[in-house]
A and B are shown apart, each in its own frame.
Chain A
Amino acid sequence: MAAEIQMPNLGLSIAEGTIEKWLKKEGDVVEKGDIIVVIMTEKVTVEIPAEVSGRLLRILHPAGAIVKVGETIALIGGAEGEAEMGGQTAAPPSSPAVSSSALRPEPRESRDVRISPLAVKIAKENGVDIREVAARFPGQKIGKKEIFDFIESKKQKIQPPEIPSSPDEEVHPLTGPIRVMAEHMAASAQTAARVTTMAEVDMTDLVKLRAALKEKFKKDYNVSLTFVPFVMKAMGEGINAFPILNASLRKDEIVLHRAVHIGIAVDTGQNLLVPVVRDVNKKGIVDVSREVQQLTGKARKSALSVQDIQGGTITLTNAGVFGALLATPIIHQPQSAILWMGKVMEMPVVREGQIVIRSMMYLCLSYDHRIIMGAQAVQFLQIVKKNLENPALLLLA
């Protein structure tokens, strides 16, 4: 009897995962606990170990396939597994002593892809891998309609421009986190009515405050104090006044999220991860700072859990650390707004008729104009700005 390896449940909101890589191939002997496959969901990569020892009889979904949670992705057989495999490939007639039902049911059920001859033909003509289609429609009959739906959905996702290949190029398959990014960003760009508005913030007082508190934070809380937690707290203030910034559009409903869970974009070198700090408006600057530090640390060590990246209601991204000034960020679906902070730099500005040098920063807010009005977005941004310019208040918030 074969043991099934299934697409694991990696969190409530995750319905499917992508097979990133098979570490074992069909026929390999595996020990219990051996990592046999790497699964990627949203932005977390999970290694799946074998639960039993035996032989990897069959890989049911190739690398790159998107598989629903709970669906069987591979079969591991025990000693009798080898006979099973031989039966499938070389097909010696099974001896009458072996009940055919003992050998058949599991692999058959899990491999039961019902595809029409016409669908096979259309798939071939369009260069579609039937296994991918089968993974998209698990348990369903696959006919002409499903193949065309699949082709259409692929078209909608990414339409690579026709680029002729040349010998002078390096080619990588579009897989893993980059593929996820490609799909999410393209989907967001195609659904949201994105508008970006900008504000300049005088950070001089916050620079001073941070300098004054830096040592104490390090000593008392072991936290390196950055501007990010202040911006997050300021966002919380803005959301209190304009809850629509913390909302999602769900079919015909506008969903206002009561909790303020702010996703913070972290660049890890290979990967863009967005861990979530929960209930920002219920936490003080110390707690928020500590959590930001913990989550960014986990992200860089690839140690984020599924829970760490789920449930964000709005996103903050800090590109200022790289020296960037302005941007028009793409909204992280299904959220409706993303705030982008640029570099803090000394600039000449006019104060009371005099040119003075102040520490300035640009905030860029992209919002979904389907549910957020321009005036709401602009006023939200002004609240964020005013709070950052009076940072002492944020210590109390």
Chain B
Amino acid sequence: MRELTFVEAINEALHEEMARDERVFVMGEDIRIGYGKGGAFGATNGLFKRFGPDRVIDTPISESAIAGLSVGAALWGMRPVAEIMFADFLALAMDHIANSAAKMRYAYTGEATAPIVFRMAFGAGVGAALHHSQSPEAWITNVPGLKIVMPSTPYNAKGLLKGAIRDDNPVVFFEHKYQYSRLKGQVPQEEYLIPLGQADIRRAGEDLTIIGSGAMANQALAAADLLAAEGIKAEVIDLQTLVPLDKKTILQSVEKTGKVLIVHEAPTFGGFGGEIAAMIADEAFYSLDAPIKRVGAPFTPVPVSPILEKYYLPNGEKIAKAAKELMS
């Protein structure tokens, strides 16, 4: 099977969906040409040339404008895919996402929908410091009416993005910027979709369950390799979609292993892992053979110094260390 990078898989999904459905259009900052390609990271490469100025729209530098325009277009029957260059700027678009897009179905008794995908690059590891490195998923997982997706591989990035574009709800789609051009993976030629709301068991095991998403799902797999060398069989669940959460897959795994480690790149305090932990404690308490543990970042912004940034970020070794403590 051919290999694509993470960003190539996303680009391919956009090409395919725009070709399939003429209501689908993209907009964002510098997405036509950008830095010699499409957008800051190349996700929209080739779209302007192929689909023209009506369907590939460069916007002013205003995330609020991008989000508001998206909601308006969606209400008139379009299916916008909005690029927020850095997920850190989610705050600027927040009112339209949380108070308009997310509320549309509820406010208009289901008659109006906002089928928008807000794509955004998130995450640290590239030396982009405080304002361009955050993992802000927990800012919006508490907003009913949104779907929150966080792919981890080129394969699921493509399948999930196509699934998100076809979903009638507003979807926030987090793409880890470290992986864009660094992570390669197999992607089939033929078309496929990955439905939202389903977790993927990336590795089966019976000793403990490690739950992660995005880049951290891959770090959890690295940890599982380290643990396997010591005879510990970890099951790795890649959430793929944070909201709606695939509780069934999580609970089945917890019932099997009795031990849970939740990993995310955002600070542990107030992170989405707390919600997963609470759900497990609530619904699988008598399957727990140890306290639920979390691995995340310290409660501080992403440091500027590359050395500190490395110290700050969870990785395979840190996850394996926490897993071993959990097993002892």
A residues near B (Cβ < 8 Å) are 116-121, 141, 143-144
**Do A144 and B286 touch (CB < 8 A)?**
no
CA distance A173 to B245 in the complex (A): 52
Residue with the highest number of chain B CB atoms closer than 10 Å, among A116, A121, A141: A116
Give the interface segment out of B13-21, B218-226, B287-295.
Answer: B287-295
**Do B258 and A121 touch (CB < 8 A)?**
no
B285: Cβ under 8 A from any A Cβ: yes
CA distance A119 to B290 in the complex (A): 9
**Chain B positions within 8 Å of A141 at CB level:** 290
**Chain B positions within 8 Å of A120 at CB level:** 286
Closest residue of chain B to A142 (Cβ to Cβ) is B289
B257 → chain A closest CB, angstroms: 10
Write 22 A-B pairs (CB below 8 A) sorted by A numbering: A116-B258, A116-B288, A116-B289, A116-B290, A117-B285, A117-B286, A117-B287, A117-B288, A117-B289, A118-B258, A118-B287, A118-B288, A118-B289, A119-B289, A120-B286, A121-B286, A141-B290, A143-B258, A143-B289, A143-B290, A144-B258, A144-B289
CA distance A138 to B306 in the complex (A): 46
Q: Which of B276-298 contact A (CB under 8 A)?
A: 285-290
A253 → chain B closest CB, angstroms: 29
CA distance A143 to B258 in the complex (A): 9
A223 → chain B closest CB, angstroms: 60
CA distance A301 to B279 in the complex (A): 63
Closest residue of chain A to B286 (Cβ to Cβ) is A121
> Assuming A116-B288, A117-B288, A120-B286, what are 9 further A-B pairs, CB within 8 angstroms?
A117-B285, A117-B286, A118-B287, A118-B288, A118-B289, A119-B289, A143-B258, A143-B289, A143-B290
Main secondary structure of the interface of B (DSSP, over half): loop
Q: Which of B17-60 contact A (CB under 8 A)?
A: none
**Chain B positions within 8 Å of A121 at CB level:** 286-287
**Chain A positions within 8 Å of B288 at CB level:** 116-118
**Chain A positions within 8 Å of B258 at CB level:** 116, 118, 143-144
B322 → chain A closest CB, angstroms: 16
CA distance A143 to B291 in the complex (A): 11
**Chain A positions within 8 Å of B287 at CB level:** 117-118, 121
CA distance A143 to B288 in the complex (A): 9
Closest residue of chain B to A145 (Cβ to Cβ) is B289
**Chain B positions within 8 Å of A118 at CB level:** 258, 286-289
Residue with the highest number of chain B CB atoms closer than 10 Å, among A117, A119, A120, A121: A117
Closest residue of chain B to A119 (Cβ to Cβ) is B289
Closest residue of chain B to A146 (Cβ to Cβ) is B289
CA distance A141 to B326 in the complex (A): 11
CA distance A19 to B107 in the complex (A): 69
B76 → chain A closest CB, angstroms: 52
CA distance A121 to B286 in the complex (A): 6
A329 → chain B closest CB, angstroms: 44
CA distance A143 to B289 in the complex (A): 5
**Chain B positions within 8 Å of A119 at CB level:** 289
**Chain A positions within 8 Å of B290 at CB level:** 116, 141, 143
B286 → chain A closest CB, angstroms: 4
**Chain A positions within 8 Å of B286 at CB level:** 117-118, 120-121
Q: Which of B281-328 contact A (CB under 8 A)?
A: 285-290
**Chain A positions within 8 Å of B289 at CB level:** 116-119, 143-144
CA distance A117 to B288 in the complex (A): 6
CA distance A121 to B285 in the complex (A): 10
| Binary contact track B248-259/A, C-beta < 8 Å → 1, others 0 | 000000000010
Closest residue of chain A to B255 (Cβ to Cβ) is A118
CA distance A120 to B288 in the complex (A): 10
Residue with the highest number of chain B CB atoms closer than 10 Å, among A118, A121, A141: A118
**Chain B positions within 8 Å of A116 at CB level:** 258, 288-290
B232 → chain A closest CB, angstroms: 13
**Chain B positions within 8 Å of A117 at CB level:** 285-289
CA distance A378 to B119 in the complex (A): 88
Residue with the highest number of chain A CB atoms closer than 10 Å, among B285, B287, B289, B290: B289
A133 → chain B closest CB, angstroms: 14
Closest residue of chain B to A115 (Cβ to Cβ) is B289
CA distance A245 to B147 in the complex (A): 78
B128 → chain A closest CB, angstroms: 41
A387 → chain B closest CB, angstroms: 57
B282 → chain A closest CB, angstroms: 12
A192 → chain B closest CB, angstroms: 34
B209 → chain A closest CB, angstroms: 13
B140 → chain A closest CB, angstroms: 32
Closest residue of chain B to A116 (Cβ to Cβ) is B289
B283 → chain A closest CB, angstroms: 12
**Chain B positions within 8 Å of A143 at CB level:** 258, 289-290
Closest residue of chain A to B258 (Cβ to Cβ) is A118
CA distance A117 to B290 in the complex (A): 8
A120 → chain B closest CB, angstroms: 7
Pick the 8 closest A-B CB pairs, nearest first: A118-B289, A121-B286, A116-B289, A143-B289, A144-B289, A117-B288, A117-B285, A118-B258
Closest residue of chain B to A121 (Cβ to Cβ) is B286
